[in-house]
Amino acid sequence: MAVKFTEQELSMIIADYKSGMKPFELAKKYKRNSSSIINKLKSLGVYVDTNYRFSKEDIEFLREVYPTGDWDTIMNRFPNTPKQSIMTKVSKLGIKSGFRWTDDEIEFLKTNYGKLDINELVEHYNGKYTKSAIKSKACDIGCTQDDDWTDDENSVLIDYYSILDIEEIMQKLPNRSRDAITIHAGKLGICSSYRLNTYWNDELDSVLINNCEHMTDEQIGQMIGKPKRAVAERRRRLGLLRVDKDNLKYSDLNKYLRGHIQDWKNKSMISCGYKCVLTGSKDFQIHHLYNFNRIIKDLCNSGKIEYKDFSDYTQEELNHITEIFIEEHDKHPLGVCVRKDIHELFHNIYGKRNNNESQWNQFCEDYRNGLYKNTA
């Protein structure tokens, strides 16, 4: 027999719910079933339905109003629907925001991209554009993070990158961000002896073990500051041998295609500075802002690729599918590096289907506000 909620318990649950706690978190905190908590909140008129079913009239309204950015009008229409659910819906419908880059904004980006940290750029634009949007726009206008490096700056990098800590180098290059320095050093072929002279420890072994299946020795080396040959040798000592390249390790098309996006992974890691964007941990996974399986589903639904038993594909078919997939995959944002347990927490909350950038942005905001401090 279910134990009734006390008035004090209900008062505390409602307060926590309104402060942002999810039903599964409330269930854990109050040792209750999440369904019973949801039903109770519904009976009290407190529960906000995140699975609101938008009518045809609602969709027409969103097509007309969302591009204007008038959130007051939108929220008046959907007072009990979270903003995140609305953003997810318009994303699925392909409705674009009315925000447009102004000439002044573009000029500022041209002048400061690579000199200011990406977070500083987000702050400059008052959150109008996400990190991915800024990086995408920079790419569109031909801006790279090593634009206008002077001979003097190159000399500083060549002279000191191999012997000083990155913080000290940033002091010598005050107009360059950490990411800009690291990326430009890589393009100049400069390795950091300061970072290479570290012994293998349990943390570094953990990074190697967790990433050797989906990253090359060179990529892992870049992430932890060790040469490719050192990573390869340590991997062999740990008994982590590379599988042959004849597709024997792939059991289905999804896994096969995941093994062919190394360039995207590398760019994603560079973008995140080879560390978790939320904790700075070097032990991370790469999260797709636009769900990986959804990209495959989109291609199947459009008739561009045919999904069947992996053993039935010829190599010619796989080559053709890979080409189509990478082209479609690269239309979406770069991934973000996130520590494994936090990555799992995200998917426990938002599921593993139809994930999008809006969900990630909301998750990051909640995480930084301490909403998940007892679960991550």
Of the candidates 250, 270, 248, the one whose C-alpha atom is nearest the C-alpha of residue 259 is 250
Q: From CA 134, how far away is CA 109, in angstroms rounded?
A: 8
Q: Does residue 144 register a pLDDT over 50?
A: yes
**Residue 128 has what pLDDT?**
67
Treating both helix axes as pointing N-terminal to C-terminal, what angle do 228-237 and 217-224 enclose, rounded to 10 degrees? 110
Mean pLDDT is highest, among 73-77, 116-120, 246-250, for 73-77
Helical H segments across 238-335, by residue range: 253-258, 262-271, 292-301, 315-329
Which neighbouring-strand residues pair with 285? 338
User: Quick one: pLDDT at residue 197?
Assistant: 42
> Are the C-beta atoms of 212 and 220 separated by less than 8 Å?
yes
**10 Å Cβ neighbour count for 107?**
11
Pairing of strands 336-338, 285-287: antiparallel
Type of residue numbered 359: Q
Tens-digit pLDDT profile for residues 303-340: 888 887 777 778 788 888 888 888 888 888 899 999 98
Closest CA to 185 of 197, 169, 167: 169
**pLDDT tens digits, one per residue of 20-42:** 777 777 887 888 877 788 878 88
Residue 103 CB burial class (10 angstroms; 0-12, 13-18, ≥19): exposed
Task: Give the Cα separation of 371 and 376 in Å (integer).
Answer: 10
